[in-house]
Amino acid sequence: MKKSLILGFFDGVHIAHQAVINTALEFSDDTVLITFKESPAKYFNRAYEYILPREESVNKIKSLGVNEVVELDFSKIASLTAEEYLNFLTEKFSPASISTGFNHTFGKNKSGNSEFLEQNQEKYGYKYFCTPALEFNGEVVSSTFIKKLLREGKIEEADFLLNSSFLLEGTVIKGAQLGRTIGFPTANIKYPENIVKIPYGVYSAKIDNRHALLNWGMKPTVHNTVEPVVEAHILDFSGDLYGKKIKIEVLKKIRDEIKFPSLEELKLQIEKDIISCSK
């Protein structure tokens, strides 16, 4: 059966990534996506943040119908020229086609690109598919653009481009347990390391398909937080989640984090927030 290779890092697996994957799937049922275990930025000692944990991105790729995901160690291929890398891929996988996005680069000093792949089709015996840019509100859809939206709290736009929800994952830890004293017990997690940071605030969310009210920040009203914390009040839920891993789907920003004059006023605002997040 003819094998179709897909190249790219695919952080978040947004709609432009999905377009690349769909092009490969249209050509062949036997698809292999080549990516990296970690962001190449780590190799160059640059700061990096992910939209989704790598495991989530890989699972999302497979859910689209890709047969196999190969996660390479970037440090082992970083010194290869574009020609050497392409030779490695074609020898190992014998692809009948290669699919990438329009801006995909590879090889030492990013010497390989879509033009390089197009020019070498006959030499290496594959058909090349280059997916053009997708635009949203005049911006090219990319992982960088989606991170920008998330950092600005534009969750709905980011989720639309991801074609899924932005996720915060973590193990439930013990907090100050103030929430339960005012009638709103919360499941608390630390903000996941290396995941793009959304602004402090209150968000509509879901946990296990249940509506939840999410607060991310310093809890200025209660003055007892040294580090920012993610707190989720799950509507119509009672149970012990301590020590359990949860996934929080972030759906919409409701408001900024505010310091209230009293706990009673905080409680009244939370009641209003719950109405907003359950709509």
CB-based contact 26:131 (threshold 8 Å): no
Query: What is d(CA 22, CA 27) in angstroms, rounded to the nearest whole number?
Result: 9
> What is the Cα–Cα distance from 60 to 54, expressed in whole angstroms?
10
Closest among 17, 40, 2, 6 to 161, alpha carbons compared: 17
- Cα–Cα nearest to 31, from 89, 99, 116, 131: 99
Token reading at 14? 């947004």
pLDDT at 17: 98
Ordered alpha helix ranges (H), the chain: 15-27, 40-43, 54-63, 74-77, 82-93, 114-119, 121-124, 143-151, 155-162, 178-181, 263-277
**pLDDT beneath 50, residues of the chain:** none
Tokens of 232: 């989720």
Tell me what pLDDT residue 265 has.
Answer: 86
The pLDDT of residue 240? 82
Domains annotated for the chain, with CATH where assigned, are: 3-140 (3.40.50.620), 165-277 (2.40.30.30)
